[in-house]
Amino acid sequence: MIDLNIKKLAEDIKSIKIQGASNIEQESIKGIEKYILKTNKNGQDFLNELTENIQELISQRPNEPKLRNSMNYILKKANEYKYELDKTKLLQDIKNYHEQIQKNNTKISELASKLITNGSKILTHCHSTLVENAFKKAKDAGIDFEVFCTETRPLFQGRITAKNLCEYGIKTTMLIDSEITHILKSVDFFFTGADVVFSDGSIMNKVGTTAISMCAQKYNTPHIVLTPTHCCETNELFNINQQIEERDPNEIWEKENRPPTLNIKNPAFDIVPNELIDKFITEEGVFSPETLYLWVNKYKLGKEKT
């Protein structure tokens, strides 16, 4: 049975009330922790219901390996402790895992902030907590710089970025999505997060990222991707055939107001090929797309041996 709190959390993820790979992952971990705390089931019954609740969360946003990897970790630990009536050890392992994720995210933002110097101009697209925190850390260090952010249609997630940065006292300018060529020739970096990192170093990110990245290359503006390594897709099937989430057409134009015969495409993401990406900043250090490919394969080999 799906827990009521998990059901509400799933609805918030689907509607993008909770958005961004890092936020979805962290809120899901907290939601599963609360479920484990209150359930009275044990053994296989507990595992079955836990799996059902985890699947409910994962199914809302299929293009989120970060979420899948974290939920798989929880399931693996739950299987280890399934015959223990006391769930203290399981909850402690999940707590330790969650804290490590937060430490890793902090490290990524700190590393990225070092690229920002006085007078820097940085473009970003959509909303990434890692990118936002990199800007905040640069501001805390006394760096004088400017951020340009897109609206990010159709749901305007760029407004989240703009609002948060302005409230933090960071000089911020918003652009409509199609205006980026007017600014790319004069910015120093294009910062984004990544919803998926494939084993060849290409990424899936908010729709529009590819077009901006192509223009950035044209103007010699480095595309810097901030991502934890567990955002890497280690499932070969997903690497070969990752389906892009198609969202409700009403996000673009409400049904009652649009021509009845009009077709609308509303993909949530697009794929940025590795040759457009300058570097990845991760908790394990800085990688090029090529060296990230080698790291991911080494990581996969290590997982297979454990």
Q: Is 306's pLDDT higher than 50?
A: no
The correct CATH number of 4-104 out of 1.10.287, 1.10.3470, 1.10.490, 1.20.120 is: 1.20.120
pLDDT at 200: 84
Residue 226 · residue 134 · CB < 8 Å: yes
Please report, for the chain, the start and end positions of each structural domain, with discontinuous segments joined by +. 4-104, 107-305
CA–CA separation, 128 vs 160, rounded Å?
A: 9
| Mean pLDDT, rounded, for 212-217 | 97
pLDDT tens digit string along 38-73?
998 889 999 999 999 999 999 988 777 788 889 989
Would you call the peptide bond into 289 cis, given omega within 30 degrees of 0 as the criterion? no
Q: What is the pLDDT of residues 264-284, one digit of tens each?
A: 999 999 999 999 999 999 999
What percent of the chain has pLDDT above 90? 74
Mean predicted confidence (pLDDT) in 100-115: 96
Instruction: Check residue 120 and give left, alpha or beta (phi > 0: left; psi -120 to 50: alpha).
Output: beta
In the three-class reduction of DSSP (H, G, I as helix; E, B as strand; rest coil), residue 169 is classed as coil
Q: What DSSP line would sit under 182-230, residue for residue? A: HHHTT-SEEEE--SEE-TTS-EEEETTHHHHHHHHHHTT--EEEE--GG
pLDDT tens per residue, range 13-43: 988 888 878 889 999 999 999 999 999 888 9
Joined tokens for residue 239: 């690497």
State the Cα–Cα distance between residues 111 and 292, nearest whole angstrom: 16
Instruction: Output the pLDDT for position 232.
Output: 80
Q: Is the pLDDT of residue 303 over 70?
A: no
CATH number assigned to the domain with residue range 107-305, chosen from the 4 options 3.40.50.10470, 1.10.533.10, 3.40.50.2000, 3.90.226.10: 3.40.50.10470
Amino acid identity for residue 66 in this structure: K
Structure tokens at 284: 């394990």
Rounded Cα distance between 72 and 78, Å, is 10
Whose tokens are 């110097």? That residue is 117
The end-to-end CA distance of the chain, in Å, is: 32
CB atoms within 10 A of CB 108: 25
pTM exceeds 0.85, yes or no = yes
